[in-house]
Amino acid sequence: MSLRRANAWGASQACASALLVGFLLVPVAALVLTLRWADFLDGLRHPLLLPALRLSLLTTGTSLALVVVLGSLLAWRIARNPGRVSRWMEAITQLPAVIPPAVAGVGLLLAFGRRGLFGGWLAAHGIAPAFTTPAVVMAEAFVSAPFFVQAAIAAFRRVDENLLVVARTLGASPFRTFLRVGLPLAGPGLVAGAAMSWARSLGEFGATLLFAGNLTGRTQTLPLAVYTAMESDLRAAQALSLVMVAVAFALLFVLRRMAPGAALPAPEARGA
Amino acid sequence: MLEVRVARRLGALDLAIELSLDRETVLVAGPNGAGKSTLLRLLLGVLRPDAGRVAVDGAVLFDGDAAIDVPAEERRLAYLPQDYALFPHLDVLGNATFGLSALDRRERVRRATGWLERLGAGHLLDRSPSALSGGERQRVALARALVRTPRALLLDEPFASLDPIARRQLRASLSGWLREWRLPALIVSHDPADAELADRIAVVEDGRVVQQGTSSELRRAPASAFVAELTGTAAAVPEPVP
């Protein structure tokens, strides 16, 4: 009886695994398998591709840099100063992860658009971000920041407090302690967070469409180019999609290589 | 000379401690939660006293009345936490030179290797901390602290994470070194055997020093059940009536 139960349990795990893994793999496989080589090469010559690729790399690179620099400082502060303020700041940074991207786009427009909360003030200083390339960066930073910040907080919390105290007694200022002890020890976690955050902003669609629009060469990133191409030419959309998959895989591979997390010793094995 | 008068409330702990150390070793003993580690954090400058004064060799590190609070990195106090806290991302030499960033590279390496050799860890330079034994870690951590010619030495449970044999060996080595360096040294411990390192013992309970003296003075007239336990005279003190 118990043996039969064990078998049934094993079989359900196998079925569930096969079903879900298959479901997740099939669309990616379909992208590759249903495209003839000649069509793919045609798709690569599509006039939307190059501007969109360039814009995507430029904007996601910029938003990643912003998120990593500001996010690291914020995460360090939250990790090292437990308290009500930190808990609130942590909760707020998680908000964009649960807001639908289209809603984020509306929010960004209502905040920074021409008629938005800060729109008038910004316009008075000659800044009108909506429907420009900076708007794309803002949308991407907004939706991707939670992924980096959450990972960074977790990584910084794992750094042993005693190491930081010792660093201070050895003459390191708080900033140098962050630089020489906090950052290197949290490194693998930070890179993993940056990779997740970057992947999220590369795929960003809804907030960008609503806040930045879909202007070739200025606000049309790869996902928007796929959407636009779909309307006229499925093959081109498919080729663009494959380029995105390739770019994503390549960058994630590089980031993983940069963070040999497993090769790093655990934060100091305790005791003898 | 290390002069300490600090007060701090922290959760349930109400700490008010006065201690004065010449060039001698004082063991701060006490039960868990008595405030021993908090005392170290107050001295190091990573936790701010509510009031009081801390001075070493005439230099004021903290003075609540005069609003003096020297930052931790400028106090020149050597600190050895219980697990020695070697930086896991640096090798032994990297650990030992960490506190010498003001010097050029050759001088840094010269001083660090000098101290590592004196403490019998000169052969470990390129090792990772994770590949060291507990005793080796303690030697490296001591060298790392001493290259900065500290004004006083603060050790938190220096032998707690060692096996009994290493503990005995290192206690003997440390005892010799402490006599040689003649620095004010504060050793926090709950192990009665560590008393042999110390010139004096200060017993802390509930954030207060309840008794101070040499270990024979404490044995002669233990002021509390804990002191009696610590000095091995527990049987001489009547059990408290429940």
* Residue-level pLDDT at A126: 85
Q: Which residue ranges of chain A lie beneath pLDDT 70? A: 1, 256, 258-272
Contact B86, A268 (CB under 8 A): yes
Q: How confident is the model at residue B92 (pLDDT cuts 50, 70, 90)?
A: very high
B103 burial (CB, 10 Å; 0-12 / 13-18 / 19+) is middle
Residue A170: which of B81, B98, B161 has the nearest Cβ?
Answer: B98
**Contact flag B88-A268 (C-beta cutoff 8 Å):** yes
Measured between beta carbons, the chain B residues lying within 8 angstroms of A173 are 71, 73
pLDDT at B138 over 80: yes
Residue of A165, A169, A185 to mutate when probing chain B, most B C-beta within 10 A: A169
**Contact flag B87-A181 (C-beta cutoff 8 Å):** yes
pLDDT digits (tens, 9 = 90+) for A216-235: 889 999 999 999 998 888 88
* Residue-level pLDDT at A262: 36
* Residue-level pLDDT at A22: 96
Q: What is the ipTM of this complex?
A: 0.90
pLDDT digits (tens, 9 = 90+) for B52-84: 999 999 899 999 999 999 999 999 999 999 889
pLDDT at B235 over 70: no
* Residue-level pLDDT at A266: 37
Contact B78, B153 (CB under 8 A): yes
**Contact flag B134-A167 (C-beta cutoff 8 Å):** no
Please tell me whether residue B38 adopts helix, strand or coil conformation.
helix
The percent of residues above 90 in pLDDT, for chain B, comes to: 62
* Residue-level pLDDT at A254: 77
* Residue-level pLDDT at A1: 55
Contact B129, B95 (CB under 8 A): yes
Ordered strands of the B185-189 beta sheet: B77-80, B152-156, B185-189, B25-29, B200-205, B208-213
**Contact flag B73-A181 (C-beta cutoff 8 Å):** no
Task: Give the chain A residue whose CA is nearest to the CA of B141.
Answer: A166
CA distance to partner chain A, nearest, from residue B1 (Å)? 19
pLDDT digits (tens, 9 = 90+) for A118-141: 888 888 888 888 889 999 999 999
pLDDT at B241 over 70: no
Contact A204, A223 (CB under 8 A): yes
**Contact flag A168-B44 (C-beta cutoff 8 Å):** yes
Q: How far is residue A256 from each of residues A148, A155, A201, measured CA to CA in Å? A: 15, 16, 18
**Contact flag B128-A268 (C-beta cutoff 8 Å):** no
CA distance to partner chain A, nearest, from residue B163 (Å)? 7
Lowest-confidence segment of B133-137, B156-160, B173-177, B233-237 by average pLDDT: B233-237
CA A7 to chain centre: 40
